[in-house]
Structures are given as C-alpha cells and as structure tokens.
Amino acid sequence: MQEKSSRRFWVLFVLGFFAIDLTIAVIAISMAAGDPSFRSIPGFGERSVHWDERQQKQRLLEELGWSIELDSALSTKEELRLHIFDRNGKHVEGVQLQIGLFHYTRVAEQQKILCVEKDGYYIADAKLHKPGLWNMDIDGETADGRKIWSQQTIRWEMTP
C-alpha cells in the first residue's frame, strides 16, 4: 500500500514539473507572438543586403555638405518639420524626401511618409503617438536625380 502511494507521489511530482515547464513555454511563446515589443524590424535582412548602397547615399549627403535637421520646436505629434541645410547654412530646395519612422519599442508599426516642401521646411504628416526614441530613415532624391540617405534617432517628448 505504501509503495503504491509513493509511486503515485513521484509520478505526480515529475508530471508537475512538466506542467510548470509547459506553462512557462506557452507564456513565453504567447508574449513573443502577441506583443509588438518583441518583434524584429521588418525588412531587416533586406536592409542588411543593401547596406553598401545606403552608405554610398550617406557619403553623397556628406560630400554635398548637406545636413538634415529636425526642428523639434515647431514639430508636433501629427507633423514633423525638417530642414535641409547646405554647408553655408542655406536652405536646400527641390529635394524629394520619404521618411521611414518607427518607435524603438514598436518596430513592427512602421510609417512611410512622403514629405512636402513648404515655407523652407520639409513637412511630414507623422503620427508620433508615443514618447521616447524614434528611428527615422530619410530617403531622398536631389533635384538632379542623385539619391541621398540619412538615419537619425530622435527623442520625442509628448507636449500637451
């Protein structure tokens, strides 16, 4: 009789450990699959393959002496305002810009935005709905057809 209850105890003890392990695995898988914070950057592999091309576009931007700057004082959570300055500090006109934007904790929620040039700014209708760090990939084409690229991290603080 005692041997039977002892056997039952140890079998249930081992099965209990299996149940705990299975529960932890199910929780981990559901978190990884369901929470947008655990996603990888969409297209990361493709971006890696074309790394040399992006670096060439970045070098062209540097050779031109241009800098792309976010005007954080005039930008809102619905609209980003960018300046492109040449090496003399003058506004560069006629550039077509497209911005790829995502929050670092929600990389799967990417925005692709075309910029409109207006009043010395390049304006993007962005949705900055969350404070924190945002990645901004800026692809552009100059007035003479040359491709430029820049990547910036911006710290966005929510304003009332």
H or E segment and range at residue 68: strand 67-70
Q: Which of 113, 118, 144 is nearest to 128 (CA)?
A: 113
pLDDT at 79: 92
Give buried/exposed letters for 65-87 (b at 16+ CB in 10 A, else e): ebebebeeeebeeeebbbebeee
| Residues in a beta bridge with 111 | 101
pLDDT at 85: 94
With bands split at pLDDT 50, 70 and 90, how would you rate the model's confidence at 44? confident
Q: What is the mean pLDDT of the chain?
A: 89
pLDDT higher than 90, residue 159: no
H or E segment and range at residue 103: strand 96-103
Cα→Cα distances 129→12, 74, 107, 113, 120, Å: 50, 16, 14, 15, 25
Query: How confident is the model over 110-158, as pLDDT tens digits?
Result: 899 999 999 889 999 999 888 999 999 999 999 999 999 999 999 998 6
Phi, psi values for residue 2, rounded to 5°: -65, -35
Residue 23 buriedness (CB in 10 A; 0-12 / 13-18 / 19+) = exposed
Query: How confident is the model over 89-116, as pLDDT tens digits?
Result: 999 999 999 999 999 888 888 899 999 9
- The Cα–Cα gap between 109 and 106 comes to 6
pLDDT at 18: 95
pLDDT higher than 60, residue 65: yes
| Residues in a beta bridge with 82 | 70, 122
Domain ranges of the chain: 2-34, 44-156
Between 2.60.40.1080, 2.40.40.20, 3.40.50.720, 3.40.50.140, what CATH number should domain 44-156 receive? 2.60.40.1080
With bands split at pLDDT 50, 70 and 90, how would you rate the model's confidence at 1? low
Q: What is the pTM of this model?
A: 0.74
